[in-house]
Amino acid sequence: MSLLDRLLKIDRRWIYLFLALGVTLPLFLNVRQKVPVTAEVRGIYDAIEKLPPGSRVLLACDYDPGTAAEIQPMTVTFLKQALSRGLRVVVVGLWPQGPIQANQALEEAKKDPRVARVGVTYGVNYLNLGYQAGNEVAIQRMGSDITAVFPRDMRGEPVERFPIMQGVRDFSSFAYVMNISSGYPGLVEWVQFAGDRFHATIGIGATAVNAPLAYPYYPRQITGILGGMLGAAAYEEVSGFQGKGQTYMLSQSAGHIVVILFILVGNVAFFLTRRRARKPREDQA
């Protein structure tokens, strides 16, 4: 059997093996993949940079572990940027597991030297108010009285005891609202109710499949968009906070290269064997 025939009949398990290696190995390499920073990504970064220290920002985490690999890096980078600049972050969630994901991101963000240098304290610099049911109804109620929707934090403590919540009433108490979501309720509800109805300044982070829903609102109703893993990696690039977004992008790119190479090799082998089979017939003619 010739090499071409072997390539055409290659065991698919070899393909799976090379693909697994292509996806896995970059995760263990300390290599950064430079990604383009779009205007939508820079819009979120610039909006946070312009806020004076001490400003309060609201982070709405509306996703679960199923999409964490794609958008958890956005949450981590947002917290790093906000906390390192001395902003005060209040976390809410309209998905039950969203605040849990935010807690994991907070623990990772606090390990960054720039955040550690500032020093952050629960209840003073950041607060997790936990999950609240109600979808867009909860957002509408927050437009009137946030403490009525979230009377206690995730730990069950009354919110009025925390310094970060002193003077907080509605969306006007926050200089910026960042929603990171992967479905319903998510970006559409936050833009339509918190933004359009209560005039909150909003930034959006979303999975790649949901990000197109945000583009009709940009740039008049939202300051920027982080779309999928590429958006997370670009956010890390512009902010200077290296994280898992760029690592995952390198892994994804390596996987794509492996697939493309197998497609090219398979097609070349197919056309060469076809040409070889046609040649004897042409010689007989």
The reply to whether 152 and 11 lie within a common domain is: no
The reply to whether 114 and 80 lie within a common domain is: yes
* Inside any domain, residue 195: yes
pLDDT value for 24: 83
* Inside any domain, residue 248: no
Q: Which domain holds residue 218?
A: 33-241
The reply to whether 7 and 109 lie within a common domain is: no
With 0-12 CB in 10 A as exposed, 13-18 as middle and 19+ as buried, what is 153? Answer: buried
The reply to whether 167 and 257 lie within a common domain is: no
* Inside any domain, residue 246: no
* Residue 279: pLDDT band with limits 50, 70, 90: low
Report the residue count for the chain: 285
Domain tally, the chain: 2
Q: What is the mean pLDDT of the chain?
A: 89
The reply to whether 39 and 168 lie within a common domain is: yes
The reply to whether 87 and 141 lie within a common domain is: yes
The reply to whether 229 and 264 lie within a common domain is: no
The reply to whether 19 and 130 lie within a common domain is: no
- Which among 53, 107, 112, 119 has a CA at the least distance from the CA of 82? 53
Instruction: Enumerate the β-bridge partners of residue 226.
Output: 205
Backbone angles phi, psi at 79, to 5 degrees: -65, -40
* Inside any domain, residue 191: yes
Q: What string of H, E and C letters represents the secondary structure of 134-171?
A: CCHHHHHHHCCCHHHHCCECCCCCEHHHCHHHCCCCCH
The reply to whether 259 and 205 lie within a common domain is: no
C-alpha 200/C-alpha 198 separation (Å) is 6
* Inside any domain, residue 267: yes
* Inside any domain, residue 221: yes
Average pLDDT (225-247) is 88
* Inside any domain, residue 37: yes
The reply to whether 163 and 42 lie within a common domain is: yes
Kindly tell me if the per-residue pLDDT of 258 is higher than 90: no
pLDDT value for 273: 76
CATH number at residue 46: 3.40.50
Residue with structure tokens 């509408």? 140
The reply to whether 64 and 90 lie within a common domain is: yes
For 109-165, write each residue's pLDDT tens digit.
999 999 999 889 999 999 999 999 999 999 999 999 999 999 999 999 999 999 999
- 192 DSSP assignment: I
- DSSP element (H, E) containing 271: helix 244-284
The reply to whether 208 and 262 lie within a common domain is: no
